[in-house]
Amino acid sequence: MFKKPNDSLTHFECLRFPTMSLTALQRSSAYLRPVCRATITPQTVVLEVGGRVRVHRRSNGADDGFDAAVSDLLQLIDEAGIRGRHLKLLVSDHWARPAVLTLPGASARDEGIETMLANHYRLTYGDLMTGWRWCWHLHGSRLLALAWPGAGLLALTEGLTQRYCTLASARSMGMEVACCLPVEPGACWLAITMPTCITLIRQQDGVLQHWSVVTDDAPVSTTLPLLLGREAVRRSDACRSVLIVDFNAILDMATLRHHLLTVGWASRVCTANALAGSLAWRLHQGGLAQKSV
């Protein structure tokens, strides 16, 4: 879906939360440990270790916060008897607050970027950003950022440390999926539908221009056309092409595509083969196929 620039520092596939509260020695030794992988969503926690997939069905779903989902993951790790592992985590966009900003100058310092993000999040969310933690990455003249609840991230790293494990990375499921798709020529929107949220991403010749997440319980067939239309108007954007990823494969695509066509949008549906390289997709599908532990 996106180009990978020659300069690795601007390759936003690296947008992820770094390991926190670890010494340099702990970080370096972590890469010698066996790897396990996990996804957290409001509905499920999926843990893959040694080729085996374990699933925990979350009873409260979206009513629970990120902290509760982290607790469920740590419980699943205990039930699997995992110790001394290197964890790669993918988290549902339900808890994500992404941002795409244009840098004012060619060379921005870290302090200036932090100030820009603090201002953006404060103006957008106000006091709701209290306690949230963000990471950022440069992609050409674009600044990409992602924020999650800081208490949950801290509980995760402390819980892993108690189990002699290391958090290698924590990434957005939506962005991980987008990075695994082939580069789309020209202009295109990507809509990733999950049970409790919709992720909208806009790219131009493989360069990210917009990234937002909307949580809504309304039917996707009516919500998605409205969201796309609103963002297109806000951006004065003439692009009316969208690629749809249905994470749970439960949408009535005929109805959705008809509604999109009615309001002037050309749509395509992403195939499972195109998503085969996505870890988020593979673990999610594995979780749907497995019984709870």
Amino acid at 267: S
265: tokens are: 């949008």
31: tokens are: 């890469």
pLDDT (0 to 100) of residue 68: 93
Q: What is the pLDDT of residues 269-292, one digit of tens each?
A: 998 888 988 999 888 887 777 765
In the chain, the DSSP E strands lie at 35-40, 44-49, 52-57, 86-91, 97-102, 132-139, 142-149, 166-172, 187-194, 197-204, 207-214, 241-246, 266-269
* Rounded-to-integer distance, Cα 202 and Cα 241, Å: 10
Q: Tell me the whole-structure pTM to 2 decimals.
A: 0.85
* Rounded-to-integer distance, Cα 32 and Cα 287, Å: 27
Q: What is the pLDDT of residues 46-78, one digit of tens each?
A: 999 988 899 998 876 656 789 999 999 999 999
Would you identify the CATH topology of the domain 182-275?
A: Nucleotidyltransferase; domain 5 (3.30.420)
pLDDT (0 to 100) of residue 228: 95
pLDDT (0 to 100) of residue 50: 84
**Which stretches in the chain have pLDDT values below 70?**
1-33, 60-63, 105-108, 291-293
Amino acid at 30: A
pLDDT (0 to 100) of residue 230: 94
User: Strand pairing partners for 36?
Assistant: 87
Amino acid at 263: V
- Spatial contact of 208 and 142, defined as CB atoms under 8 Å apart: yes
- Spatial contact of 246 and 253, defined as CB atoms under 8 Å apart: yes
